[in-house]
Chains A and B, each alone.
Chain A
Amino acid sequence: MDVDQATQIDLFALAPELAVLGASLLVLLIELFLHGPRKRFVNPIAVLGVLVAFGFVVALWLDGAQRSSFGQMFVVDDYALAFKGFFLAVALFVLLISYRYFSEIRTFQGEYYFLMLAAFLGMMLMPSARDLVMLFIALELVSVPGFIMAGLRKFDLRSNEGAMKFFLFGVLSAAVLLFGLSIVYGFTGTTTLEGVAASLSAGEANPLLLAATLFVIAGFGFKVSAVPFHFWAPDTYEGAPIPVTAFLAVASKAAGFAGLLQVTFVAFEPLADVWAPVLGVVAILTMTLGNLTALTQTNMVRLLAYSSVAHAGYVLVPFAVVQPGDAALNADAFSAVLVYLFAYGAMNIGAFAVVIAVARRHPGRRVSDYAGLGQRSPGLAVALTTFLVSLGGIPPLVGFVAKLAVFFVAVEAGTTLGIVLAAAVAINTVISLVYYLRVARVVWMEEAPEPEPEPVQPGLALGFTVGGLAVVTVALFVLAPLLWGAADQAVLIASG
């Protein structure tokens, strides 16, 4: 691309990102001038920034035109807007569940909110990136703040260990990803996603090129904590502050999937018959291992961590049925991934919000701490049960819609792999219910230890998050056509 084109900037297209960027800098600056407990007021500033960015996303959506900046590196279309809206909604809830948690810890508030917003800036760039270099930048912008945030509980050895593992794995996978990207560039001579696709479908499939695509996929596999790149996840999740865990399990994972979607469905689509079966095997391993390991967990956060590994396996299923050139099937697979991610975001943040609320009374985060919660705090208990049952994919909750979408494309593909994947998801659903129901059983059927702990006081922000997401979890089931329709609108696949 020439210089004129590359420097043309459409400010309206960039407005949501600029709003988040501005808010992040403002937070860092203002925190310096606040003292003691007043430092917590940086949270509303961050929330405000997110809301403004959300307003810009809505405005761009109403505007409807496809916009781009920096040549074709940064594109705003339905797909990008859908993801940006989703990320901003997630950001809002993550900020709400952070408020009380960090104002009680009283450390690094300005830094935390700055890092969080920076990570979300990376996420918002991700779905707009239509260039391998841009994708890499976005991915690192998500990862690097994550490394630091995971270690924010400096006083806790587990937090140190988790952050260290996360960092080492992250750097290694970034290197692998870059290595793969450089080989792809060497073969195709371009870094735009469309250009790579065009070049791949024209040329012969070289073994080295196939290896390079797998390197790239492995790089994203780390981000979404797919087996065998998942080893960091449980330790990091357990050690990190719980809002950061929610962020890693939902937002950062969804960003990884957004990048993976663009790379696989657009750039590497012509090579789908190579990477799709690989991802199929990865999907089965991920969901099975995640669920089986979650069965034995007694720590609530670790349980949710392994559960989120398993969910990554379900999201990988639609990737595995992609076939080169079959636009109808690929479009359905694409929209299934979106449906799953959006549904997963609502119910999983909800579950973490309840964990944060309960952790204020029970810092040990053991599953047994939840005994008798149904008596002490019936509202929280109902919400937690709703989120867990929804994660299990039982109607009438949004988790069922997500599972339905995954089953739908697996059967639609009609291949042996598709059927095997459908059966694997079916069996894993049953396994996952074992541990989700175990928590529900502790909540409702076990007596609280003596002396009975005080009822949990979630506070306004957390209470709003829990209640709101519980309503969303039910409402998005009834309004499944909206969710699914939006996902269908946002499909982005190689034209032709």
Chain B
Amino acid sequence: MWEASALTITVFLPLVGAALITLIPKAKEEAAKPVALGVSLLAFLLSLAILAGYYLGPPGGEGLAYQLRVDWIPVIDASYHVAIDGISLPLFVLSYLLTFLCAVYTFHHLEEPGRPKAFLSLMLLLQTGMAGTFVAFDLVLFFVFWELVLVPMYFMIGIWGGPRREYAAVKFFLYTLFGSVFMLVAFIALYFAGPGTFDIVALQQAGAAGEFGLTFQRLAFLGIFLGLAVKVPMWPFHTWLPDAHTEAPTVGSVLLAGILLKMGTYGFVRIALPILPDAAVEYAPIIGALAVIAILYGALCCLAQTDLKRLIAFSSVGHMGFVMLGIATLTPVGVNAAIFGMIAHGIITGMLFFAVGSIKERYHSRAIADIGGGVLQTMPRMGAVLTFVAIASLGLPPLPGFWGEVVALYAAFNPAEALVDAGFLTFFRVLMVLGAIGTVLTAGYFLNMLQKVTMGTAPARWREADLSDVSAIEWGAWSPLLVMTVAIGLVPVLVFGITDPAVSAVLTALGA
């Protein structure tokens, strides 16, 4: 019973919580916070139970588990098919962890205009969309969850965001939608070209068996690529991201960076590569090139930023570039590195946005010049946290940022056989070198940021302002992330051990 219903219960529990919260009378609006906390904690514990069950239960850490397949729209053979494997499991659990921590964080601070009831029900709705995307094994269902995140995030940015919130919210929505409608058309094309189903498992088998012709694959891949690339976001589709991240409230930024971006890269691993393997080989060099451009471009933009939040936002463009470079190699090593990179980026950048959000809340400004340095003086603990996560993010071994980047670069040195046969070995090695230069630039801008923000002498007005250091609630929300940063950095096999068998299974179509 639990086996079949576990994912459904866990995915829709936050939705039920959101409905409950809307029933709270307006006069007792603060009661929304403990309810959201309780619901998200319970959901997080359920996701941990699923994680534990995956190892201890029948699959024993391999293959699909917790499957449930119920017919939904029989006319078009769209089903409610959910399952989980080693690729989705870490992202699935991470989404619950981050939402739970965000619920904790709202006890500390919620941006103007407050209204925790509306905010938290949107956050829980968002959680259902995020988690559902990672467990959907039907293209229509995947698309439903994929789009489900748009509306809550639109309102989170648009109501609780910074000065340019309305512009940023609409831009976020329209960019993502623009990509995804073409993805939907490509999904339907897969239905008609293949075995007449939207089931991802069946389509993967069809892809491995070579049922799709090359011309068809090129077009379908293009459609899917548009949808996913906007979400990742890959250069040159990234322009919504700096605006959305910068203007979003802290919780919105954390979830956007921590989970929403991963939906795009996850889609490449789950859908684009295994179902359309031949087109993947043709597109891989382009994806690799765009990824490296993103790495370098992101780093150069970061060097030029004067806004702390915008800087972190652009750093995401670069980090997602490493993830995409790993995927573009089409090797198990590269894809493992990509998933590791997603988890690492989710934890670290989520944490960075928490820290930056808290700094902004105290300084009432995101501009580096306004802060003027010396955070280590005014708020020593806050400065230490920021320094630690910034260093983790720039990829210092043995913190997790390092593993994602260096393994992706290593994979680019040895791309898949098919790419070597097509004469792209040198090309990928050039990409590797350029990516390595990107890591240096990354270190450069983060150290530059630390120097300007945390070090030096604090301006007199901030020394006299008596800024409060990290609060107990903030420690509560952050310490799990800080601990995990150290843990998966020191023992990367915690993630690689989960992902490796599943990645090999998915890449069989590519002859890996």
Contact = CB atoms under 8 A, between A and B. Distances in A.
B475 interface: no
Interface stretch (A163-171, A226-234, A481-489): A481-489
Contacts of A26: none
B75 interface: yes
A484 B140 CA distance: 15
A426 B173 contact: no
A445 interface: yes
A396 B144 contact: yes
Contacts of B143: 395
Interface stretch (A198-206, A285-293, A404-412, A463-471): A404-412
Interface string A389-411: 10000111000110010011011
Interface string B151-171: 100110011000001100110
Contacts of B155: 444
B166 A441 contact: yes
B178 A430 contact: yes
Contacts of B174: 430, 433-434, 437
B369 interface: no
Contact of A445 (B151, B158, B173): B158
A183 interface: no
A396 B148 contact: yes
B76 A408 contact: yes
Interface in B130-153: 140, 143-144, 147-148, 150-151
Contacts of B363: none
A484 B185 contact: no
Nearest to A426: B181
A423 interface: yes
Contact of A404 (B166, B170, B184): B184
A69 interface: no
Contacts of A484: 73, 75-76
B147 A395 contact: yes
Interface in A439-462: 441, 444-445
Given A423-B185, A484-B76, A394 B159 contact: no
A429 B73 contact: no
B55 interface: no
A429 B184 CA distance: 12
B71 A429 contact: no
B170 A441 contact: yes
Contacts of B72: 480-481
Interface string A418-431: 00001101110110
A414 interface: yes
A411 B150 contact: no
A407 B184 contact: yes
Contacts of A395: 143-144, 147-148
B74 A437 contact: no
Nearest to A483: B73
A404 B177 contact: no
Given A394-B151, A441-B170, A429 B177 contact: yes
A126 B286 CA distance: 55
B173 A437 contact: yes
Contacts of B185: 407, 410-411, 422-423, 426
A87 B79 CA distance: 30
Contacts of A410: 185
Contacts of B184: 404, 407, 426
A389 B151 contact: yes
A385 to B, nearest CB: 8
Contacts of A423: 182, 185
B192 A411 contact: yes
Contacts of B71: 481
Given A430-B174, A480-B72, A481-B72, A414 B192 contact: yes
A433 B151 contact: no
B5 to A, nearest CB: 17
B147 A411 contact: no
A408 B150 CA distance: 23
A382 to B, nearest CB: 8
B159 A445 contact: yes
B194 to A, nearest CB: 12
Interface in B175-194: 177-178, 181-182, 184-185, 188-189, 191-192
Interface string A77-108: 00000000000000000000000000000000
B133 to A, nearest CB: 12
Contacts of A426: 181-182, 184-185
Nearest to A425: B181
A433 B151 CA distance: 11
B74 A485 contact: yes
A480 B73 contact: yes
Contacts of B178: 427, 430
Contact of B177 (A408, A425, A433, A485): A433
Contacts of A412: 188, 192
B183 to A, nearest CB: 10
Contacts of A427: 178, 181
B260 to A, nearest CB: 16
A485 B166 contact: no
B140 A404 contact: yes
A408 B188 contact: yes
Interface in B319-355: none
Contacts of A404: 76, 140, 184, 188
A380 B143 CA distance: 28
**Which of B76, B143, B159 has the largest number of chain A CB atoms within 10 A?**
B76
Contacts of A408: 76, 188, 191
Interface of B: 71-76, 140, 143-144, 147-148, 150-151, 154-155, 158-159, 165-166, 169-170, 173-174, 177-178, 181-182, 184-185, 188-189, 191-192
Given A400-B147, A426-B182, 15 more contacts: A394-B151, A395-B148, A396-B144, A396-B148, A404-B188, A407-B188, A411-B188, A425-B181, A426-B181, A427-B178, A427-B181, A437-B154, A445-B166, A481-B73, A484-B73
The 8 closest A-B pairs by CB, nearest first: A426-B181, A395-B144, A411-B188, A430-B178, A481-B73, A484-B75, A422-B185, A395-B147
15 contacts: A394-B151, A395-B143, A411-B189, A425-B181, A426-B181, A430-B178, A430-B181, A434-B170, A444-B155, A480-B72, A481-B71, A481-B72, A481-B75, A484-B73, A488-B75
